[in-house]
A and B are shown apart, each in its own frame.
Chain A
Amino acid sequence: MKRSDFSGRKSKLREVGNRDGEDRISSLPDAIISHILSFLPTKAAVATSVLSSRWKFIWTSVPNLCFDDRLFSECEDTPALTRFENFVNRVILLCDYSVNINKFSIICQKFSGLASLKFWVSYAITRRVRELELSINGYNNVELPDSICSSKTLEVLKLKSDFVFKVPSSGMCFPCVKILHLEMLYPKNNMVEKLFTICPLLEDLSIKGIIRGFGSVTKFNISSRTLKKLTINLEDYNDLEDKHQVVVRAPNLEHLHIRDSTPVPYVVHELHSLSKVVFSIVDVFMEDFDPPDADCVVQFLKGIANTKFLSLCVGSMSALECALRDVVPAFPNLTHLEMTIADLGCRVFPIILSSAPKLEAFVLDQKLDADFGWIEPPCVPICLLSHTKKMEIKGFNGMENQLEMIRYLLKHSVVLNTMIIELLGKWSRRKGSREKLRRILEMFEKGSPTCNILVP
Chain B
Amino acid sequence: MAIMYALKSSDNEIFEVEQKVIEQSETIKKMIEDGAATGEIPLQVSSKTLAKVLEWCKQRQHKTVENENDDNKGKRKKERDEDDDIKEWENKFSDELKADKDVLFDLLLASNYLDLPALLSFLCQLVADMVAGKMPEEIRRMFNIENDFTPEEEKAITAEHGWAFQP
Contacts and interface: CB of A to CB of B under 8 A. Distances in A.
Given A39-B125, A47-B165, A53 B109 contact: no
B108 A50 contact: no
Nearest to A5: B112
Contact of B131 (A5, A40, A43, A86): A40
A48 B139 contact: yes
A40 B120 contact: no
Nearest to B101: A24
B164 A21 contact: no
A38 B124 CA distance: 9
Contact of A50 (B117, B161, B167): B161
B108 A2 contact: no
Interface in B82-120: 101-103, 105-106, 108-110, 112-113, 115, 117, 120
A50 B165 contact: yes
B144 interface: yes
B163 A90 contact: yes
Nearest to B49: A16
A87 B163 contact: yes
Given A3-B27, A3-B112, A15 B105 contact: no
Interface stretch (A27-35, A149-157, A182-190): A27-35
Contact of B163 (A5, A52, A83): A83
A222 to B, nearest CB: 28
Interface residues of A, number: 46
Contacts of B147: 51-52
Interface stretch (B13-21, B40-48, B54-62): B40-48
A19 B101 CA distance: 10
B33 interface: no
Interface string A80-98: 0001001100100000000
A23 B143 contact: yes
Contacts of B48: 16
A38 B128 CA distance: 8
Contacts of B49: 16
Nearest to B117: A1
Contacts of A19: 102
Nearest to A50: B136
Contacts of B140: 51-52
A32 B44 contact: no
Contacts of B144: 21-24
A411 interface: no
Contact of B102 (A24, A44, A49, A55): A24
Contacts of A52: 140, 145-149
A56 B129 CA distance: 20
Contacts of B44: 13
A24 B10 contact: no
A90 B140 CA distance: 25
A24 B136 CA distance: 16
B3 interface: no
B151 to A, nearest CB: 13
A36 B128 contact: yes
A124 interface: no
Contacts of B124: 32, 35-36, 38-39
Given A5-B112, A32-B108, A51-B140, A16 B46 contact: yes
B128 A39 contact: yes
Contact of B145 (A51, A86, A87): A51
Contacts of A46: 161, 164
A285 to B, nearest CB: 31
B127 A26 contact: no
Nearest to B76: A336
Contacts of B10: 13, 15
Nearest to B26: A2
A244 B44 CA distance: 64
11 contacts: A28-B109, A32-B120, A35-B124, A37-B128, A44-B132, A47-B165, A48-B131, A50-B161, A52-B146, A52-B149, A87-B164
Given A1-B120, A38-B124, A52-B147, 17 more contacts: A1-B117, A13-B106, A13-B110, A24-B102, A28-B108, A35-B121, A40-B131, A46-B161, A47-B161, A48-B131, A49-B161, A49-B164, A50-B136, A52-B148, A52-B149, A83-B163, A90-B163
